């Protein structure tokens, strides 16, 4: 038996596989993945030396834990397919043993989902209320080992199941466990979608620098280093954000002039409205 199987072999799944192997959490032989794209399967086999198949059910039958890395709009179709493995056994008996054949029980597998907005209830509807499910919201920086994930376990999942999921996602960054599933919509809006907001801000800084006369490559280099340096300073400092801003923004200086324009344009309100829109979309995905 494999220790972990992936349904879907896209970028996030590949990042997890790589992190788990490079971090020596698992060996390639411990893992298996399925994907509809033959090119993706070849890439997983070639780059990571991990078994890859087109058959989702092969993964389910041969791995103790199953990680769903498929698009939210495809999840119901995949769940229906996989639920057939756990269907009640047929009434007929086998000719050799005279016994009714047993189908695999859903409780024999741990299900981990990174499908945005897909609730634990959707998995309970497919596999039963006692199913061992952990819902996770990771983010794109996992692809460079700097991810942030939050997760919630279903009533059927144990603390050991939660610890297993935490171990997976800490191989590509940081991960936390939450008690309230509704918080995952806010997590999705902040850290799940958040990298795009940072990319947008860096692009705006870069473009503004170019408008002021800086060469594009230099402007991008300075914007990236400024964001990284500020993040590290904020992480290490005992001061809160407001105090750090005060230290940089000398009265009557350049930073104060810039911050005044941010305030006049409603910068904080724009961020708040953007996060709310993302959270609402996450709730919509869960409902629909």
Write the pLDDT tens digit of every residue in 4-37. 999 999 999 999 999 999 999 999 999 999 999 9
Query: Helices (DSSP H) in the chain: which residue ranges?
Result: 11-22, 38-48, 56-62, 75-83, 120-127, 159-170, 183-187, 194-211, 216-236, 241-248, 254-264, 267-287
What's the mean pLDDT when you consider all of the chain?
92
Report the pLDDT value the prediction gives residue 284, as an integer from 0 to 100.
86
pLDDT at 273: 97
Predicted confidence at residue 59, as pLDDT, reads 96
Q: Is 154 helix (H, G, I), strand (E, B) or coil?
A: coil
Same domain, yes or no, for 168 and 51? yes
- At CA 95, angle to CA 94 and CA 100, rounded to 5? 20
Mean pLDDT by 10 residues, the chain (288 residues): 94 94 95 96 95 95 96 90 76 45 77 91 92 96 95 97 97 96 94 96 98 98 97 96 96 96 97 96 81
CATH number of the domain residue 266 falls in: 1.10.3730.10
* pLDDT, tens only, 253-288: 999 999 999 999 999 999 999 999 999 998 887 776
Separation CA 74–CA 117 (nearest Å): 12
Domain enclosing residue 83, as ranges: 4-181
Token duo for residue 103? 């189908």
Q: Look at residue 101 in the predicted model and tell me its pLDDT.
A: 44
The pLDDT assigned to 88 comes to 59
The reply to whether 26 and 86 lie within a common domain is yes
The Cα-based distances of 231 to 33, 130, 227 in angstroms read 35, 42, 6
Indicate if 131 and 245 belong to the same structural domain. no
Instruction: Report pLDDT for 286.
Output: 76
Spatial CA neighbour of 177 closest among 153, 194, 211: 153
Helix or strand run (H / E) with residue 135? strand 132-137
Same structural domain, 265 and 219: yes
Give the per-residue pLDDT at 116.
82
Residue 72 structure tokens: 């939210």
- Assign residue 97 the CATH number of its domain: 3.40.50.720
Under 8 Å between Cβ of 140 and 195: yes
Q: What pLDDT was estimated at residue 103?
A: 67
């Amino acid at each position: 038996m494999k220790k972990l199987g992936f349904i879907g072999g896209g970028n996030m799944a590949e990042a997890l596989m790589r992190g788990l192997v490079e971090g020596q959490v698992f060996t390639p032989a411990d893992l298996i993945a399925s994907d509809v794209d033959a090119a993706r399967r070849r890439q997983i086999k070639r780059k990571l030396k991990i078994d890859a198949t087109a058959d989702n059910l092969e993964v389910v039958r041969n791995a103790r834990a199953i990680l769903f890395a498929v698009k939210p709009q495809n999840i119901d179709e995949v769940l229906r397919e996989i639920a057939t493995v756990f269907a009640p056994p047929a009434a007929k008996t086998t000719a050799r043993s005279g016994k009714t054949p047993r189908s695999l029980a859903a409780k024999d597998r741990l299900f981990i989902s990174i499908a945005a907005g897909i609730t634990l209830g959707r998995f309970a509807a497919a596999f039963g209320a006692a199913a061992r499910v952990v819902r996770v919201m990771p983010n794109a920086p996992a692809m460079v080992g700097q991810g942030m994930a939050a997760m919630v376990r279903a009533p059927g999942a144990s603390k050991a199941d939660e610890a297993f999921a935490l171990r997976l996602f800490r191989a590509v960054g940081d991960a936390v466990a939450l008690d309230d599933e509704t918080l995952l919509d806010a997590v999705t809006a902040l850290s799940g979608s958040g990298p795009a907001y940072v990319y947008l801000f860096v692009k705006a800084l870069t473009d503004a620098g170019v408008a002021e006369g800086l060469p594009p490559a230099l402007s991008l280099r300075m914007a990236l280093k400024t964001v990284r340096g500020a993040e590290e300073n904020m992480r290490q400092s005992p001061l809160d954000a407001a105090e750090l801003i005060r230290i940089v923004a000398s009265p009557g200086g350049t930073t104060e002039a810039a911050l005044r324009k941010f305030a006049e344009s409603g910068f904080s309100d724009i961020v708040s409205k953007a996060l709310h829109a993302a959270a609402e979309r996450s709730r919509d995905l869960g409902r629909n």
